[in-house]
Amino acid sequence: MSALLKYEEHNPYGSPASGSCTSCDVYEFNICAAIRKRSEAAGQATEPLLVASVHTIPARRTISRPTEWSEFVPVICRGWASSTIALSDGRRQILSFLLAGDMVSTASPFESTSGLLVEAITEVTYRNFKRSDLKTALFEHPDLLEMLAKAWGEERRSIDQLAVDLGRRTADERIARLILNLMDRLAKRGMAQDQTMDFPLRQHHIADATGLTPVHVSKVLSGFRRSGLIDYSNRSLAILDVASFQRVANQR
């Protein structure tokens, strides 16, 4: 029986090392977890099924371009990235913010171009899985596939919600929902306490994610601050009155 997982820079079965999945805070939340579980079930490593190379890039660097062919499937390990569609005239729509544990798109194991512009917002560490290996593994191990399908369902729900937000919700609602959403996702990863999170997004990111103008985003955020709903400074954001804020996010 062969092991299913190997990283270039270490033996995954050794003690946790910096940069290894073993020390990754979030590997529970992604395909890595499934791979890991498979590996544990399979016992000690003899031959790796999946090789992943690790990369760290500075903020603002592009991770992948819309039509760029790549034989790798990137999974974010650390930092924030955005996945965007850009129109030729400069308009942009951010489709999702990628956090630790996220695969750029759950369709990417099957497609060599993403159609998306993926950019680092903060410094980002990510793992590149080789698409062909990953695909083989998915075909061979139904539980991995099941996990990916689950992630696909979640991805689908979240982009569906984005469409509802963009099509049918006011600026206040959109922004409040984005913030609540991010708080939730970070909390699940243990990266938010007391309704407070690191918040590296610039207002233009919020604008591009909500289909608004940076100017308007500034006005809405100022409004939230003035009403004591949130506190927002020093790249850190706190929701001061969760209940009211949730009301803003849903209300008509």
Helix, coil or strand: residue 5: strand
Instruction: Choose from DNA, a second copy, none: what does 159 bind? Cβ within 5-8 Å by kind.
Output: a second copy
**Owner of token pair 């937000």:** 165
Q: Of 11, 122, 213, 246, which one interacts with DNA (CB under 7 A)?
A: 213
Token pair recorded at residue 251: 């209300």
SS3 200: coil
| Residue span 230-249 as binding mask against DNA, x where in contact by CB under 7 A, dash where not | ----xx--------------
9 binds a second copy (CB under 8 A): no
Residue 235 CA to residue 240 CA, distance in Å, equals 16
Hey, which residues between 158 and 197 contact DNA (CB under 7 A)?
170-172
CA distances from 210 to 15, 62, 104, 123, 203 (A): 43, 21, 19, 23, 10
CB 102 to DNA: min, Å: 22
Is residue 214 within the footprint of DNA (CB under 7 A)?
yes
Residue with the two structure tokens 């569609």:
85
How many whole angstroms separate alpha carbon 252 and alpha carbon 247? 9
240 binds, among a second copy, DNA, none (CB under 5 to 8 A by kind): none
Which of helix, strand or coil describes residue 118?
strand
Question: Which region among 49-57, 125-133, 146-154, 189-197 touches a second copy (by CB under 8 A)?
Answer: 146-154
Three-state DSSP class for residue 63? strand
Sheet hosting strand 230-233, strand order edge to edge: 192-193, 196-198, 236-239, 230-233
**Binding of DNA by 103 (CB under 7 A):** no
Partners of 105 in the β-ladder:
none
Kindly state the smallest distance separating residue 176's Cβ from DNA, in Å.
Answer: 12
Interface with a second copy, residue 211, by CB under 8 A: yes
- Give the start-end residues of each E strand in 28-156: 50-57, 62-64, 72-78, 81-86, 92-98, 117-120, 124-130
41 binds, among a second copy, DNA, none (CB under 5 to 8 A by kind): none
User: Shortest gap between Cβ of 141 and a second copy (angstroms)?
Assistant: 10
CB of 252 to a second copy, least distance (A): 4
Interacting residues toward a second copy by CB under 8 A: 85, 87, 89, 91-93, 95, 105-107, 109-111, 115-116, 139, 142, 145-146, 149-150, 152-153, 155-157, 159-164, 166-169, 210-211, 252
Interacting residues toward DNA by CB under 7 A: 170-172, 202-204, 211-216, 218-219, 221-222, 234-235
